[in-house]
Amino acid sequence: MGFFAEAGPVQIFVSNHVCNLLILAKIY
């Protein structure tokens, strides 16, 4: 988790991408 702690913006970007994938998964 240290990597994510240092890479804040990257974690937010990845989290948003995962959320988008989950939303698309629910649509399809």
Range of the domain at 6: 1-28
- In this prediction the pTM is 0.49
How many structural domains is the chain composed of? 1
> Could you tell me if 4 and 11 are in contact, meaning their C-beta atoms sit under 8 angstroms apart?
yes
What residue ranges in 1-28 does DSSP mark as E strands? none
pLDDT of residue 10: 77
Exposure letters 2-28 (e unless 16+ CB within 10 A, then b): eeeeeeeeeeeeeeeeeeeeeeeeeee
pLDDT of residue 28: 72
- Alpha carbon distance 4, 7 (integer Å): 5
pLDDT of residue 1: 47
Structure tokens at 13: 């970007």
pLDDT (tens digit, 9 = 90+) per residue, 1-28? Answer: 455 556 678 778 888 888 889 999 998 7
**Residue 27 in 3-state DSSP?**
helix
